[in-house]
Amino acid sequence: MSDLPLLNTDLEAADGAFPPAVEAFRDRVRGADCFLFASPDYNYSISGPLKNALDWASRPPNRWGDRAAAILSASGWLSASTSSSSRRWNDNHRMQYASGSGNVLLFTFTYKE
């Protein structure tokens, strides 16, 4: 993820190609069966680099489709804030809420190419 540029649609070519680091990341995402996102609480949400990676892989065609995912978070006295705010970004990345317990929320990706 450290090689990914900040999301900027101006970096996308007219033919839909992405920068090489983004293409490599998207290929790794597409090759995975499932995902475990672990992020500390960062201003009541996920960290910037994780959000950037989620956004790049969700650019059309969305690479998160048909994948199961789990989201784990940790923080101090607001320990559920990242997990709670994760319900916000599940729609943005075409995830579907499956079940939740405490600070662990499980999602499945439902987007099909």
User: Each residue's pLDDT tens digit in the chain (113 positions)?
Assistant: 889 999 999 999 989 899 999 999 999 999 998 888 887 777 777 788 988 999 999 999 888 877 777 777 766 555 455 555 555 555 555 554 455 444 445 555 565 66
Is residue 47 within 8 Å of residue 95, measured between CB atoms?
no
Which residue in 52, 44, 34, 35 sits closest to 88, CA to CA? 44
How many of the other CB atoms lie within 10 Å of CB of 16? 9
Cβ neighbourhood burial of 107 (10 Å; 0-12, 13-18, 19+): buried
The pTM of the full predicted model, rounded to 2 decimals, is: 0.72
Domains in the chain (CATH in brackets) are 9-109 (3.40.50.360)
**Strand 68-74 to strand 104-109: parallel, antiparallel, or no bridges (unpaired)?**
antiparallel
